[in-house]
Amino acid sequence: MNLEKNNGRKRGWKFWLVFWFLSFSFLFTWFIYWQYQNKGFAGLAFLAKPFIKTLPMDKKTEEELFAALEIYEKITKDQEERSFLVLFQNNMELRPGGGFIGAFGIMKVQGDRVTHIDVHDTGVFDGRIESNVVPPFPMGRLLNIKNWEMRDSNWSPDFPTNAEKLEYFYHLEGGEEQLDGVVAVSTELLPSFLEITGPIKIDGYPGEYNSENAIMKLEYQVEKGFHEQGIDVGQRKYVMKDLASEILRRVAGLSWVEKKEFLRTIEEHLDEKDIMVYFKDGELQDKIRSLGWSGEIKNEESDYLMMVDANLGAYKTDYYMKRSFEYEVDLSGEKPRVDLNILYENTAQSKDWMTTDYLTYLRVYVPEEAWFLEDNSGLERVFGKELGKKYVGVILKVPIGTEKKITFSYELPVEMADDYSLLIQKQSGVMNTKGLIKIVGKDGVVKEQKIELDRDKNFE
């Protein structure tokens, strides 16, 4: 039975792994095509770098073209085999780096061909050896674990940091491949792809998968539905193989216009950190960084904010969580003062196999020179510095059907009041966060802006 269960897992994940990785690889060719088509030119001579410089385009587009083309060329021009660790991050159970890592794969590519796939259940992989690495606060206490392992390794909001930690645990726990990079993908890609391909009905399974129901329907099928339908536990994820195969078949048959839309969708997911990429090759990493797809914490000389949640309740409650925030900075006083209000709403109606009271460890990252003011919330607060930022961390519980508001107040360095600007970075995996930005100028004039935090955003 164990062999049958493991084979079923590998077969399902293998097809998903091929699907996500090919989608990512597909981006580089189509990114160039799409940017080119938007300028209204014909022919393929633009692939020559000297010719790109003759095209009438803005500098940003030209830089993106060069970066994407150079990445594609370096990966595919020779026959050197490269190995990548590909992560599946389920953002219904949010972690600082995106979502819980339920599975990962090792994929080898040579030129533009996938030559080898090896897929692992992260829990099974972790179980082979104890890491003897103490989990960071408060992971060990809330998850009741003694060892920090690969499935919980994406503890940083900075993807390159997570990629290096993942490789560390991979080798510590017996992984033998020498990795060239790490790619993380979110479950958010599935609904977007189905919007383009249209609904899919799979023989042998009830109902249809569409952009509205796919994530929940698939989660239920592999966790509960298979049992109700009399499907053996070792075959419960075959539905993933069938769904991925049909999506790939439909994508191959898309028109040029539809394929351009498919590319636009992938690019949006890269911008929104649903796909993040890390190369060990410094030159390639610089190119990915220039495109804004590295998932890095940025170190700019400005005011800064990043709100980072870690769901430590071991359920998929993030599916039902809504977040909003108000950020007010007053530049008219002796020192700039910030008041940040964050509201959590647990919209679930009852506890079930995937939902419970929300338990999160929230960290708020601000400029390193900021000074947090005292508060009377009664919550235990943990302070620290990392990634060139200062942070405050708190443990919050939001029971089903309730909401909770938390406030942070702090002062900024005096010099930030001059030529003020603000960078807010989005946490990978967090969806539909609405915000209100209020800036009180030195002259007392108030400016407000409502935003949807779907990607990193700058304000001046």
| Domains of the chain, residue spans | 2-291, 303-459
Q: Which of 142-146, 244-248, 335-339, 396-400 bottoms out in mean pLDDT, i.e. has the lowest?
A: 244-248
Q: Which of 86, 138, 82, 67 is nearest to 113 (CA)?
A: 82
Confidence (pLDDT) at 263: 74
| Residue carrying the six token digits 């009377």 | 376
Euclidean distance between CA atoms 273 and 229, whole angstroms:
36
Mean pLDDT value of segment 331-338: 96
Summarised one tens digit per residue, pLDDT across range 50-99 is 545 555 556 666 666 667 777 777 777 777 889 999 888 999 999 999 99
Higher pLDDT, 314 or 43: 314
β-strand partners of 386: 389
Q: Which of 80-89, 214-223, 294-303, 421-430 bottoms out in mean pLDDT, i.e. has the lowest?
A: 214-223
- In this predicted structure, the answer to whether residue 25 has a pLDDT above a threshold of 70 is no
**Residue at 449: amino acid letter:** Q
Confidence (pLDDT) at 48: 45
Class of domain 303-459: mainly beta
Confidence (pLDDT) at 451: 96
β-strand partners of 188: none
Query: Cβ contacts of residue 155 below 8 Å, gap of 6+?
Result: 95, 96, 97, 136, 139, 162, 165, 310
Radius of gyration of the chain (CA): 23
Running DSSP on this structure, what letter comes out for residue 204?
A: T
Instruction: State the pTM of this model.
Output: 0.85
Specify the long-range contacts of residues 414-418, CB closer than 8 Å, at least 24 apart: 414/334, 414/335, 414/336, 416/302, 416/303, 416/336, 416/367, 417/331, 417/336, 417/442
Confidence (pLDDT) at 57: 54
- In this predicted structure, the answer to whether residue 41 has a pLDDT above a threshold of 70 is no
Contact 300, 410 (CB under 8 A): no
Backbone torsions φ then ψ of 243, nearest 5 degrees: -65, -45
Token output for 297: 């914490």
Residue 218: pLDDT band with limits 50, 70, 90: confident
Euclidean distance between CA atoms 434 and 455, whole angstroms:
12
10 Å CB burial of residue 63 (0-12, 13-18, 19+) is middle
